[in-house]
Amino acid sequence: MKDQETIRNPFRAVIFDLDGVLWDGEPLYHEAFNLVLARYGHQLNDEDYTQIMGHAVDACWQWVRERFGLTESLSDLLIAYDNAVVDLMRRPAEPLPGVRALLDELTRRGFPLAVASASLRPWVDTTLAGLGLRPLFQAVVSASEVDNGKPAPDLYLAAARLLRVSPGKCLAFEDTAAGVAAAKAAGMSVVQVRVASTALSLLPNADMVIENYSQFDLSLLDGQPVQATKPGSATIETAVPSSLNSPSTGPVKP
């Protein structure tokens, strides 16, 4: 949270990233990378994986090809990776602690909800169904439906458009630098979530940081100033911008 600026207008909708925000999915994708790379004698360590977290799948594999000098085609690697992910997704999964309670409360309060994920549509649908969360979202956008993945704003703009809410009236929950950049580029305020096992250090562009979902003060959504604490700092006032220039297309709610 930044400085002393407070919200003057309440939010109208909430948009969530999927992996690392609604469930601890990044370890599964990391494992899938290494299942494919093992065939070529390589392994993606934690530091390497952090470099690609949150980016579109094809961009990730292009980075990996260059990192290890692989000669296999990008299409072949993507097919192998998709197969590995689908196999791993057969494992049981649960939402991160506090997710279901927050979604239920947001639903009770009448907030339209969406998912904006850089993962492919089949993975997103499988994950949300397995977590039992799909009925709670009025819109779901994946990398399969947009031209540009995160950090471009396409996913968030598409989600806001489907909800028929101006991007500047949407609050986004993200866990990666690419995701935060995407939501900010769309004109949204962003909460960095540091709940998953792959939680990153504090991202300077995030408007708010939470270590667990119980730290999120719902009164913020109504435009009320709240107190919150960044790790290692004194209590400071929430710094979600009061107004943002937000590009949008199609009919939106004021």
If DSSP codes are grouped into helix, strand and coil, which group holds residue 108?
Answer: helix
Active site residue 17: yes
Instruction: Give the pair of three-digit tokens for residue 87.
Output: 């196999």
What H or E segment, with its residue span, contains residue 21?
none
Q: Select which of 17, 24, 175, 207 is catalytic.
A: 17
- Rounded distance between C-alpha atoms, residue 142 and residue 57, angstroms: 11
Answer for the pair 180, 230: CB distance below 8 angstroms, yes or no.
no
- Rounded distance between C-alpha atoms, residue 198 and residue 196, angstroms: 5
Instruction: Give the pair of three-digit tokens for residue 77.
Output: 């690697």
Helices and strands of the chain, counted as H and E runs: 8, 8
Residues assigned a catalytic role: 17
